[in-house]
């Protein structure tokens, strides 16, 4: 956007006269320019980042050599005058393979903070979801509308629905976000981990553990309780405009996401552990006037927002809580590039169940029954012989929320008003769905050559319990009407006389 009198969400600014009017019309332009400059600086930071590789590892990292204690976690005096603090994402006693905890060596202990007071939840909602009755209908939404100027990632979170109970650490929530401003404040979620799936615009995540860069086509995970703030990087196509960011978030109240077992697939495949990337330590320090890798600017007071048992709470800290100089452990944030997913599929016949596309799973107490699975429909070849190749018609005891990062999805005809990037669909427990009429007709008649499916990137949050919509989702203007019609007009082809 150039220097004309437009506000940050692109609408005309009201006309005034004289100096005041000039100043008023200058302000949005200045704000746009400032955010663009910040976005450019953040992008440069993001593109220069280095990472640690692996999933569920005992990683370790120090931003200052010698900051990490050796031989013990909690020495009498921590090197460099730091404080030692353990952050536990699992009970102390959970099996070693699933135990998640990290040791943080920080400038001030997290305990040094004032009281939290309640803050407005905005458009964020939590389990239990009781604003509407669970709906057996197939539902589909268009992308979220434009946010008001100055909407950061946290304010931009808009809850579609979910299940379980945040206070019992069961279930999940589906959120979408649409933001146009980088966060000044810091956020942490005691209720669950956050799987962020950007659809438009890159993000720089400044976390207690260091910095992560995530773009559409990648996902990021912020573990339960880890503090972070989000800078918007803008999309390449944004040109001179102030950045906006849009995407999806799965808030997982249950067991931390882990890689699925591979069973007969063998020792490799699906999401490979080495492709998950954790940050290296970087910290903010307001005490000596400088930032050290985590260059977020920290002078003065910092608002810290904590999501706890469904509500937002806020406190004004006198220092940045992103002040971890060194850390080691397994409760760490990470990013993953979905295009690295090693897709398995049939090389004979039939369409395999989409569990074969599971990137991450949050298991429940019942073996094989996930609280939530994160599933990706990544580019792949279809070669099945005498096979209806798109997703089949089905009714599923699991509930399926689907989103689209780009392009089209092979069960639904592409195009406006359909299943579009930034939109989503909900097929709740036992609701009948599958290919739309157009897809059914096309795929039933298609010549079965090897076919590359590489014109889209869709994903699914598949969960053991029905997803109950929030009131705002059930009444949203961007809830599509007439979704059922995509299955209307499926012809009767039954010809008993044809039997052999």
* Binding site residues, Fe ion, CB under 5 A: 400
Listed ranges 21-29, 285-293, 334-342, 388-396: which one lies at the site for ligand OMD (CB under 6 A): 388-396
Residues 353-372 interacting with ligand OMD (rule: CB under 6 A): 354
Residue 358 CA from chain centroid, whole number: 16
**Cα–Cα distance measured from residue 297 to residue 300, given in angstroms and rounded to the nearest whole number:** 9
Pick between residue 278 and residue 370 the one whose CB is nearest to Fe ion.
370
Binding residue (CB under 6 A) for ligand OMD from 411, 426, 469, 486: 411
Q: Does 391 bind ligand OMD (CB under 6 A)?
A: yes
Listed ranges 108-116, 339-347, 390-398, 487-495: which one lies at the site for ligand OMD (CB under 6 A): 390-398
- Residue 380, binding choice from ligand OMD, Fe ion, none, Cβ under 5 to 8 Å by partner class: none
**Number of residues written out for the chain:** 500
Pick between residue 304 and residue 382 the one whose CB is nearest to ligand OMD.
382
Residues 17-46 interacting with ligand OMD (rule: CB under 6 A): none
CB of 1: closest distance to ligand OMD in angstroms? 38
- Residue 411, binding choice from ligand OMD, Fe ion, none, Cβ under 5 to 8 Å by partner class: ligand OMD
Q: CB–CB of 103/68 below 8 Å?
A: no
Query: Catalytic residue among 113, 351, 427, 478, which?
Result: 351
- Residue 423, binding choice from ligand OMD, Fe ion, none, Cβ under 5 to 8 Å by partner class: none
Binding residue (CB under 6 A) for ligand OMD from 332, 460, 473, 486: 460
- Kindly state the helix (H) or strand (E) to which residue 252 belongs, with its residue range: strand 245-252
Pick between residue 269 and residue 287 the one whose CB is nearest to ligand OMD.
269
433 annotated as a binding-site residue: yes
- Both structure tokens of 498: 């044809």
334 annotated as a binding-site residue: no
Q: CB–CB of 208/225 below 8 Å?
A: no
Binding residue (CB under 6 A) for ligand OMD from 8, 307, 331, 433: 433
* Three-state DSSP state, 195: strand
> DSSP for 335-362?
EEEGGG-B----SSSS---GGGGEEEEE
**Cα–Cα distance measured from residue 208 to residue 282, given in angstroms and rounded to the nearest whole number:** 8
Pick between residue 227 and residue 433 the one whose CB is nearest to ligand OMD.
433
- Both structure tokens of 31: 């704000």
Q: Does 400 bind ligand OMD (CB under 6 A)?
A: yes
In Å, how far are 48, 136, 236 from 197, measured between CA atoms? 21, 26, 18
**Cα–Cα distance measured from residue 435 to residue 389, given in angstroms and rounded to the nearest whole number:** 10
**Cα–Cα distance measured from residue 68 to residue 75, given in angstroms and rounded to the nearest whole number:** 10
Closest to 458 in 3D by CA, of 383, 312, 311, 354:
354
In Å, how far are 32, 52, 372 from 340, measured between CA atoms? 35, 17, 21
409 annotated as a binding-site residue: yes
Residue nearest to Fe ion (CB): 400
**Cα–Cα distance measured from residue 113 to residue 416, given in angstroms and rounded to the nearest whole number:** 49
User: Is 351 annotated in the active site?
Assistant: yes
Contact residues toward ligand OMD (CB under 6 A) are 351, 354, 391, 394, 396, 400, 411, 427, 433, 460
**What residues are labeled active site?**
351
Annotated binding site for homogentisate: 409, 433
Residue list, annotated binding site for Fe cation: 394, 400, 433
Binding residues: 394, 400, 409, 433
């Amino acid at each position: 956007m150039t220097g004309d009198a437009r506000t940050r969400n692109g609408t005309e600014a009201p006309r005034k006269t004289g100096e005041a009017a000039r100043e008023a019309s200058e302000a949005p332009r200045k704000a746009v320019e400032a955010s663009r400059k910040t976005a450019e600086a953040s992008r440069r930071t993001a593109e220069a980042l280095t990472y640690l590789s692996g999933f569920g590892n005992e990683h370790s990292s120090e931003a200052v050599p010698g900051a990490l204690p050796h031989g013990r976690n909690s020495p009498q005096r921590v090197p460099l005058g730091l404080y030692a603090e353990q952050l536990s994402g699992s009970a102390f006693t959970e099996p070693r393979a699933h135990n998640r905890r990290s040791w943080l060596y920080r400038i001030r202990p997290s305990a040094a903070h004032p009281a939290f007071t309640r803050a407005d939840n905005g458009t964020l909602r939590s389990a239990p979801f009781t604003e509407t009755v669970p709906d057996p209908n197939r539902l589909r939404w268009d992308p979220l509308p434009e946010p008001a100027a100055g909407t950061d990632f946290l304010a931009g979170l808009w809850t579609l629905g979910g299940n379980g109970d945040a206070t019992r650490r069961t279930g999940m929530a589906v959120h979408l976000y649409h933001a146009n401003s980088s966060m000044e404040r810091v956020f942490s979620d005691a209720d669950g981990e956050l799987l962020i799936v950007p659809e438009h615009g890159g993000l720089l995540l400044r976390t207690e553990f260091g910095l992560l860069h995530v773009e559409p086509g990648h996902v990021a995970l912020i573990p339960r309780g880890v503090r972070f703030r989000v800078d918007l990087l803008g999309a390449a196509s944004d040109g001179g405009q102030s950045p906006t960011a849009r995407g999806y978030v799965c808030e997982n109240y249950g067991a931390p996401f882990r890689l699925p077992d591979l069973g007969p697939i063998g020792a490799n495949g699906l999401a490979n552990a080495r492709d998950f990337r954790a940050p290296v330590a970087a910290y903010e320090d307001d005490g000596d006037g400088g930032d050290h890798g985590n260059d977020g600017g920290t002078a003065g007071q910092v608002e810290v927002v904590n999501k706890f048992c469904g509500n937002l709470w806020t406190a004004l800290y006198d220092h940045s809580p992103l002040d971890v100089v060194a850390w080691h452990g397994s409760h760490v944030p990470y990013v993953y590039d979905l295009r690295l997913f090693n897709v398995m599929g049939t090389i004979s016949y039939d369409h395999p169940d989409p569990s074969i596309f599971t990137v991450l799973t949050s298991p429940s107490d019942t073996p094989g029954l996930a609280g939530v699975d994160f599933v990706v429909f990544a580019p792949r070849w279809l070669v099945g012989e005498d096979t209806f190749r798109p997703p089949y018609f089905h009714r599923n005891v699991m509930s399926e929320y689907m989103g689209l990062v780009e392009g089209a999805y092979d069960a639904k005809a592409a195009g406006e008003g359909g299943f579009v990037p930034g939109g989503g669909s909900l097929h709740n427990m036992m609701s009948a769905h599958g290919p739309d009429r157009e897809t059914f007709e096309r795929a039933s008649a298609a010549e079965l050559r090897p076919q590359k499916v590489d014109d889209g990137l869709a994903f699914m949050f598949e969960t053991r319990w029905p997803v109950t919509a929030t009131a705002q989702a059930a009444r949203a203007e961007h809830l599509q009407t007439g979704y059922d019609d995509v299955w209307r007009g499926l012809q009767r082809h039954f010809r008993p006389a044809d039997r052999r």
